[in-house]
Amino acid sequence: MESPQNIKKRLKSVSNINKITKAMEMVAATKMRKSQEIALASRPYAFAALDFLATISSLDSAKLPELFTKREIKKVLFVLVSSDKGLAGAFNSSVFRKFERHQKIEKEEWKNEEQVYLAVGEKAFNYLTKKNYNVVKKFVSVGDYTTTQQVGPIVDFIVEGYMNESWDRVVVISTHFRSALKQEPHVRRILPIDFDHIADTVKEIIPERGKFADLIKEHNINFVPNKASTTDYLIEPSPQEVLNKLAKHLFFIQVYHLILEANASEHSARRMAMKTASDNANELGNALNLQYNKSRQSKITTEISEISAGAEALS
């Protein structure tokens, strides 16, 4: 049997691990809640913006801006959204797995299209470079809760590339936050812009279960533009210009939401991973404790029998 000192040492390190993982679990849980709140706070804004778009695009004089129009697809940009740091369970690998599966399924259809990649998060960059994919750029530290300042450069980069035809379609693979216990990787086309796609992203920001789930009923916006009521709008400076500005803005909102959702998922995946880790540490600690007590007891028993044997020999 192992010596009690050795077991004691192991016991101590296990309990230290337990403390650390427990602390990380708490931190991740708070961060998850906060990133969910941030995502939800931007919803009225997003709905108003969609409503705007519906109003303006129903005007006859407005032509849909370039971000909306479909063109022949020669090059596709894939955006992989992952975390910067590990210790988040299957969060990153599930995104990559989804990506691989998606590649395999659509291989036939896409064999004439060139593919380029954009990495959001350190892990995605590592993955893509390891697989020898053509990574055009990486963006890191969109971390805990993303801000508009952090999303701005990503959006500008994608839009600029789209405008000068570096790519004709943009697909994002990111994690959809279904509830605190369930996250799913999703593949979404974000460019060319599609009304319904944006509406879906904005609606999906509400988790299916949990604290914020009941918000789902309150908003039921209809995105079918109403022709009759919009004819007498005065539009400054011109419908075209407003629409162009709005299109880019909506695209920004969509990317912002996708990344926020990925943030929330990351934190909740990390929370789950840390919970499992501390449960395991607990279990291991109990087993070691039992072992320690047993070895201590057996040592005492041997000592007692030695003493009593010595006493018997004397008498």
Partner 1 sequence: MKLSIYSLKNILFQGEASSFNCQTIMGEITVLDHHEALISVLSAGVIKLIDKDKKEQFFPINSGFLEVKPDNEVRCIVEQ
Using the contact rule CB under 8 A, the part of the chain among 213-221, 231-239, 276-284, 307-315 near partner 1 is: 231-239
State the Cα torsion 268-201-151-186 to the nearest 10°.
Answer: 60
Q: Does 56 bind partner 1 (CB under 8 A)?
A: yes
Task: Using the minimum distance from each CB to partner 1, give the nearer residue, 55 or 280.
Answer: 55
| CA-wise closest residue to 94 among 174, 187, 188, 185 | 185
Q: Does 242 bind partner 1 (CB under 8 A)?
A: yes
Contacting partner 1 within 13-42 (CB under 8 A):
38, 41-42
Do 88 and 270 touch, CB atoms closer than 8 A? yes
CB of 238 to partner 1, least distance (A): 10
Taking CB under 8 A as the criterion, the residue among 8, 17, 33, 52 binding partner 1 is 52
Please state, in angstroms and rounded to a whole number, the distance separating the CA atoms of residues 148 and 261: 14
Question: 267-284 burial, b if ≥16 CB within 10 A, otherwise e?
Answer: bbbbbbbbbebbeebbeb
Task: Using the minimum distance from each CB to partner 1, give the nearer residue, 245 or 299.
Answer: 245
In order of 48, 57, 276, the CA distances from 61 in angstroms are 22, 9, 59
Q: Does 224 bind partner 1 (CB under 8 A)?
A: no
Q: What track of x and - describes contact with partner 1 for positions 253 through 292 (by CB under 8 A)?
A: x--x------------------------------------
Do 123 and 131 touch, CB atoms closer than 8 A? no
Task: Using the minimum distance from each CB to partner 1, give the nearer residue, 51 or 194.
Answer: 51
CB of 241 to partner 1, least distance (A): 7
CB of 189 to partner 1, least distance (A): 23
CB of 138 to partner 1, least distance (A): 24
Q: How many CA atoms lie within 13 A of 171 on its CB side?
A: 18
CB of 18 to partner 1, least distance (A): 37
Q: Does 156 bind partner 1 (CB under 8 A)?
A: no
Q: Does 160 bind partner 1 (CB under 8 A)?
A: no
Q: Does 55 bind partner 1 (CB under 8 A)?
A: yes
Taking CB under 8 A as the criterion, the residue among 13, 229, 276, 308 binding partner 1 is 229
Q: How many CA atoms lie within 13 A of 125 on its CB side?
A: 13
| CA-wise closest residue to 32 among 269, 284, 231, 282 | 269
Q: In this structure, are strands 114-120 and 75-81 parallel, antiparallel, or unpaired?
A: parallel
In order of 171, 240, 242, 249, 250, the CA distances from 245 in angstroms are 22, 9, 5, 6, 9
Please state, in angstroms and rounded to a whole number, the distance separating the CA atoms of residues 273 and 91: 10
Binding site for partner 1 (CB under 8 A): 38, 41-42, 44-45, 48-49, 51-52, 55-56, 148, 229, 232-237, 241-242, 245-246, 249, 253, 256
